[in-house]
Amino acid sequence: MSLFTEPFNPNGEYGKKLFAIATAGYTEKEPIKILVSGIGIGEVYVDWDGSLADVWLRILKLAARTRLLRKLVAALQADPNYTQARPEIEALLQAVAEEDRAEANGGMRAADYTMATVVGRRPFINRHRFRENLRSLFGSYGDHTMIVDGPPKSGRSYSWVLISYLTRRAGGLQASLIDMSTFRGGRAKPIDVAKMIAADLGWKPPESDVTAQERQGPGSDVTAQDETNRRVLLGWLKSSVRQHGDVCLVFDGLDSSNVGEAALGFIGDIAAAAGNDELGDLRVVLLAFGRALPNPNVDPYVLREPPLADIPLADFTAYLRAVAKEGGHDMSNAQAGQLAARLLGAPAPDPVPISLLASRAVEVSRVACQLLRGIDG
């Protein structure tokens, strides 16, 4: 949705600018009637009573409703009476065009949802750095690779839920979860990673390197061919992206015992290639990837979240107040503290252990959903 495809909002950023531009031109209604008639809005369809500001507001709303707003702005741009306003008109058109391009790519629209407090019935508490990283990851000119690390049971895999939510709400960019902990059949090799990607996205899978295995002998893990296979498979991925379009690949379970060293290297190759702008607008997120990327030159451009840690009690109560506000209910600090004690035990611990939040997940979820619906938790 943009200025030219949604109802005119005089209080929005672009609506305010366009209203100021329109009202800065003519001081009489007659030439305005001629102007709007020229774009297809008949004089009879406009209520011309009242001030020029009132008339222009009606015209702008009508033009938006009839899909003639873009044509109206072009008419203002060409009208000699708006010569002085032409730089503002051109700047407005450029800003809207850039936003439309970003929205078409699923970028800015995804970034708009990073502050979600509840996704489904899952509460998202704190994670400020993670949210900032997502804004960059899905922004128009942001970075393309992100790493989320931390100890087991710290919430790394929970990150997928918010990433999936962002891409669904935004449209234009499909997210795919490649959970290596689900692989069965020995230790995963690079070809297995590629086939999992293909299966999840409905792409034609790459062919196995049978000849290399035959040269090495039965049961071989093709160690001598690993780097060559990785390069070939990376080429397959680049070709697939060009053919099918950009996606967001989220790799989880990378600390599982069933993931071979060569497979981890290939996943690192994918992340490094994305960070090096070799994969178009494809995004890559690595969960539990406790190592350096193969290309050290990419490291400065990789988004990283510090290892997930316990949450300060003030952040937890601030979260409760934020959710309550979304539900139209003002909650005081004292009320949030009482609710926290009810959820976590009195007195509420400070900081709040991640393990405690995990054990109370059902109750915290229930209360967050109540607050979001406008019900006092």
Weakest-pLDDT range from 16-30, 190-204, 208-222, 258-272 = 208-222
Greater confidence (271 vs 4) lies with 271
Strands lying side by side in the sheet with 247-252: 174-179, 247-252, 283-287, 145-148, 303-305
**Shortest CA distance to 332 belongs to which of 299, 267, 376?**
376
Q: What φ, ψ does residue 177 adopt, rounded to 5°?
A: -95, 120
Are 117 and 323 a contacting pair, CB within 8 Å? yes
Question: Amino acid identity of 86?
Answer: R
User: Looking at residues 24-45, what average pLDDT do you find?
Assistant: 91
| pTM score of the predicted model | 0.65
Name the percent of the chain lying above pLDDT 70: 86
Does 119 have pLDDT greater than 90?
Answer: no
Does 10 have pLDDT greater than 90?
Answer: no
Looking at residue 169, what is its pLDDT? 75
Encode pLDDT of 63-108 as tens digits: 988 889 989 999 999 999 999 999 999 888 888 877 666 555 544 4
DSSP state string for 313-328: HHHHHHHHHHHHHHTT
pLDDT band at 218 (very low <50, low <70, confident <90, very high): very low
Beta bridge partner(s), residue 287: 148
Question: Residue 160: CB partners within 8 Å, gap ≥ 6?
Answer: 177, 250, 252, 287
Task: Say which residue the tokens 């008639």 belong to.
Answer: 37
Question: Residue 223: CB partners within 8 Å, gap ≥ 6?
Answer: 216, 262
Looking at residue 198, what is its pLDDT? 94
Q: Which two tokens stand for residue 143?
A: 């970075």
Q: Which two tokens stand for residue 289?
A: 């990837």
Which parts of the chain fold into alpha helices (H)?
A: 13-23, 29-37, 52-65, 69-78, 86-104, 107-111, 128-137, 159-170, 190-201, 210-216, 226-244, 261-275, 313-326, 333-344, 354-359, 361-372
Greater confidence (100 vs 18) lies with 18
Helix 52-65 vs helix 69-78: angle between axes, to the nearest 10 degrees?
130
**Shortest CA distance to 344 belongs to which of 364, 362, 365?**
364
Does 16 have pLDDT greater than 80?
Answer: yes
**Shortest CA distance to 233 belongs to which of 266, 281, 268?**
266
Most confident of 35-44, 112-121, 126-135, 219-228: 35-44
Which of helix, strand or coil describes residue 268? helix
CB atoms within 10 A of CB 345: 11
Encode pLDDT of 149-181 as tens digits: 766 665 667 888 889 888 887 666 788 999 998
42-73: burial string, b at 16+ Cβ within 10 Å, e else: eeeebeeeeebeebbbbbbbbbbeeebbbebb
CB atoms within 10 A of CB 287: 26
Compute the mean pLDDT over every residue in the chain, rounded to the nearest whole number: 84
Looking at residue 154, what is its pLDDT? 58
CATH of 107-305, one of 3.40.50.300, 3.40.225.10, 3.20.20.70, 3.30.750.200: 3.40.50.300
Are 172 and 248 a contacting pair, CB within 8 Å? no
Most confident of 79-83, 220-224, 326-330: 79-83
Encode pLDDT of 277-310 as tens digits: 899 888 999 988 878 888 888 888 898 877 777 8
167-188: burial string, b at 16+ Cβ within 10 Å, e else: beebebbbbbbbbbeebeeeeb
